[in-house]
Amino acid sequence: MTIKVGDTLPAATFMTSTAEGPAPVTTDDLFKGKTVALFAVPGAFTPTCSAKHLPGFKEHAAEFKAKGVDTIACVSVNDLFVMKAWGKDQGIDGEVLLLADGNGDFTRAVGLDFDGSKFGMGSRSQRYSLIAKDGVVTALNVEEGGEFKVSSADYMLGQL
């Protein structure tokens, strides 16, 4: 079942890259007591994700912070090393927390996975964005297949 506004996000552990090396980030670490703008992409280095989705959140990071967002996070069903390389490629320097959902556990738990096998991608995340306050979803924007509209940084800023 797909998560909806008013639901509490499920418990999961992501991996992220830090100056000290790989580190786990639990949903409690990420969401407890915070307002978080989370967006999900089908894959690091994919065209729309690299040309529009992640750059939009990087560009508007200060506006999100000014509107009360504590953390901007991007999740993808990729491994930690791919996410680290993507962040380096995109010039991410702390504006967006890149979260590897390597096995897709969180993605499946929120019901927003899809089968990308026909594209050689296996199980992936749908493109979406959400706002969570203390782990409770207050806004959810799920894209139709192949679209990039309601999960954009610009769209989310209008919801804050």
In a domain? residue 113: yes
Q: What's the confidence (pLDDT) of residue 87? A: 94
d(CA 87, CA 121): 20
**How far is residue 97 from each of residues 7, 24, 133, measured CA to CA in Å?**
22, 12, 17
Residue 92 located in a structural domain = yes
Q: Is residue 126 one of the residues assigned to a domain?
A: yes
Report d(CA 105, CA 121) in Å as an integer.
Answer: 16
- What's the confidence (pLDDT) of residue 65? 97
Residue 34, in any domain of the structure: yes
Looking at the domain assignment, is residue 2 inside a domain? Answer: no
Under the banding of pLDDT at 50, 70 and 90, the label for residue 51 is confident
Domain count, the chain: 1
Structure tokens at 48: 């729309």
| 75 occurs within a structural domain | yes
**Residue 151: inside a domain, yes or no?**
yes
Tell me what pLDDT residue 61 has. 96
Parent domain of 20:
13-159
- Residue 33 placed within a domain: yes
- CATH assignment at residue 116: 3.40.30.10
Instruction: Encode pLDDT of 121-147 as tens digits.
Output: 778 899 999 999 999 999 999 999 888
Q: Which residues contact 52 (CB under 8 A, 6 or more apart)?
A: 148, 152
pTM reported for the whole predicted model: 0.94
Positions marked active-site: 49
